[in-house]
Amino acid sequence: MIPLALLPGYAQWGAHLEALAARPEALWIFGPAGAGVSILAGELAAQRGVPWSDAANAEAAATWLAAHPRGVVATRTAPPEALGCLALRLPAVEEDPACLPALLEAMASEEGVSDPLPAALATLPCPGNLRELRNRLLRWKLLGQLPGAEPAGTPRFEAEDLASNLHELERFLLHQALRRAYGNRVEAARRLGVSRRQLYLLIRRHGDPVRGEPGVGELPLRVRKRRPAQNSSPDQGIR
């Protein structure tokens, strides 16, 4: 388990843990997915000698705390103002990038990785925070997967027709999103504003540069229809 001192934002909230544990109010620990809220909630509950809950949402957390007046709850959202408990928000990794080297070193030790770690493992953004960071490490350890560097500049549009250029732009944006999400396909779909089904169709067509999966190379119908006429005279058919 990741030590508390390595969690994002520890420099801001770490000095107050003893005081939080001693307070009579219930504690509400919240933050983005994978920020370590469950780790901290479990530790504070152990110090208090009280139960804790990993709640799915704010409503469930408030219901649980009503039955456990000095309990500790971990969830993703801030508490209702009227609840009257003490709240502590843990930041995302992106908000405390200085924590990345020590986090990766601790995870590498837990996973038995002794080789020097590639700098790409600490690349931001890091959707999923601690979980995604560990997944990166494991993908590199087990599969050797690292996202290649993004191409410099914008894509070059060699064709004259719109359909072919849109096909090239689609590939460029898909690969950019996958690299910046470090292969996290849920995050890549969110960045592109498409459904997961649409994302998988795009990956089938263009491939995945992070996982090293080639695309089938099948051109969309709009491009296949346009290609045979690309070399025709601009004046052809005009009367």
Look up the CATH number of the domain holding residue 189.
Answer: 1.10.10
Same domain? 102 vs 90: no
> How confident is the model at residue 49, as a pLDDT?
94
Of 218 and 105, more confident: 105
- 52 shares its domain with 112: no
Taking alpha carbons only, the member of 162, 137, 174, 131 closest to residue 38 is 131
Has residue 151 been placed in a domain?
A: no
Q: How does DSSP classify residue 121?
A: G
Q: Is residue 191 part of a domain?
A: yes
CB atoms within 10 A of CB 32: 19
pLDDT-wise least confident of 37-41, 139-143, 190-194: 139-143
Average pLDDT score over the chain: 85
Same domain, 74 and 18: yes
Do 90 and 138 have their domain in common? no
Could you read off the pLDDT of 88-129 as tens digits, one per residue?
Answer: 999 999 899 999 999 999 999 999 998 788 888 888 878 778
The pLDDT of residue 112 is 92
Average pLDDT, integer, range 205-229 = 73
Asked if 87 and 101 sit in the same domain, the reply is no
Calpha distance 22→8 (Å, rounded):
23
Question: At how many degrees (to 10) do helices 196-206 and 162-180 cross?
Answer: 110
Burial class for 41, CB neighbours closer than 10 Å (0-12, 13-18, 19+): buried
Q: What pLDDT, on a 0 to 100 scale, did the predictor assign at position 150? A: 66
Residue 11 lies in a domain: yes
31 and 50 inside one domain: yes
One domain for residues 58 and 75: yes
Domain count, the chain: 3
Residue 153 lies in a domain: no
> What's the whole-number mean pLDDT along residues 195-212?
90
74 plus 103 within the same structural domain? no
Q: Is 172 within the bounds of a domain? A: yes
Domain contains 235: no
pLDDT, tens digit (0-9, with 9 covering 90-100), for 12-63: 999 999 999 999 999 999 999 889 999 999 999 999 999 999 998 999 999 9
Same-domain check for residues 59 and 103: no
Last residue of a domain, one of 59, 76, 94: 94
User: Do 9 and 89 lie in a common domain?
Assistant: yes
- DSSP class of 194: -
pLDDT at 228 over 60: no
> Which residue in this structure is represented by tokens 């003893």?
18
* Angstrom distance (rounded) from CA 220 to CA 204: 12
Residues contacting 180, CB < 8 A, separation 6+: 125, 150, 188, 191
Instruction: Look up the pTM and report it.
Output: 0.69
Residue-number span of the structural domain to which 75 is assigned: 4-94
User: Do 89 and 118 fall into the same domain?
Assistant: no
Residue after which a domain boundary falls, among 94, 129, 153: 94
Q: Is 208 left (phi over 0), alpha (psi -120 to 50) or beta?
A: beta
Q: Which residues contact 43 (CB under 8 A, 6 or more apart)?
A: 4, 17
168 and 218 belong to one structural domain: yes
Residue 9 near residue 56 (C-beta atoms within 8 A): no
Would 111 be classed as within a structural domain? yes
C-alpha–C-alpha distance, residues 72 and 69, integer Å: 9
Residue 23 resides in a domain: yes
Mean pLDDT across the stretch 190-206? 93
